[in-house]
Structure formats: C-alpha cells, structure tokens
Amino acid sequence: MNRVQDCRLIQLPKIPDPRGNLTFIEGERHIPFAIRRAYWIYDVPGGEVRGGHAYQALQEFVVALSGSFDVVLDDGHERRTVLLNRSYFGLYIPQLIWRHLENFSTNAVCLILASLPYDEHDYIRDPALFAQRQAPGSAP
C-alpha cells in the first residue's frame, strides 16, 4: 500500500539561458518509471476540479508547465496538498493514491507523464471502494 509520503517533489534539470530557460526529463532517470504516455490539462475554467480518482497500477508525474494549481493527495489515512507553480519541479505520484487537482490559475497548463497507456479499467473512481481497498487487512 502506498502512502502520501511516497509522493515526492522532484526538481528537474534547468539550463538557464538568456534566450530562454530549458528543462528536460528522462524516464527511469529523473523519475522512477519509463514514460508510456503524456497528456495535458489546460483551459480550465475558474473553480473547476480535475482528477478525483486513484489508479491501481498507474504511476504519474505532474508538472505545472505554466501557471499553478494544487494537487490534493489522499491515501485513505492522510491527506496532503502540494502546490505546483514551477515548470522545473514535478510531483511523483505512485499507484493507489487518490488525487484531485484544484485552484488552477488562469492559463495554467498541467503536464502529466504516465507509466502506462490509457486504461479505464485501471481507474478507481469510487471513493468508498478506494477506502475499502486501503483499509487495514484488505488484499494487497
């Protein structure tokens, strides 16, 4: 079972340049998984919330490429809110962590790198099911 403490902020390389800064990321080097998919969330209307689920197997790395937003993490025991507001920092989230994204600034762009292709069957969208899954004594 993963815990909120297993989520961690990772600082990415930043090449400062008067022509404009550059940051990069390599799977299995800067983050602990091979990148199989990338998607991004943008044009979020004020007050909207994204996410609101956990994954059984998927690991993700979340970057605020532009603007800012909060990532709210919950393992069924503990809850933590992480503000992302720099394009050279990202948040690693292992599998089995409930998360939602909120407080998007105007023009925020959220890049998500994922360890697996899209699979709706990997989602846990029912909070009660997640709580049950995280309860002491439940199957690993």
- Return the range that interacts with ligand TYD (CB under 6 A); candidates 7-15, 35-43, 62-70, 74-82: 35-43
51 is an interface residue for ligand TYD by CB under 6 A: yes
The residue (of 3 and 37) whose beta carbon lies closer to ligand TYD is: 37
Confirm if 90 and 12 have CB atoms less than 8 A apart: yes
Catalytic residue among 53, 77, 100, 121: 53
Q: How many residues does the chain have?
A: 140
Written as one string, the DSSP assignment of 102-113 is E-PPTT-EEEEE
CB 82 within 8 A of CB 108: no
State which residue, 69 or 89, has the beta carbon closest to ligand TYD.
Answer: 69
Hey, which residues between 64 and 93 contact ligand TYD (CB under 6 A)?
A: none
Check if 30 is active-site: no
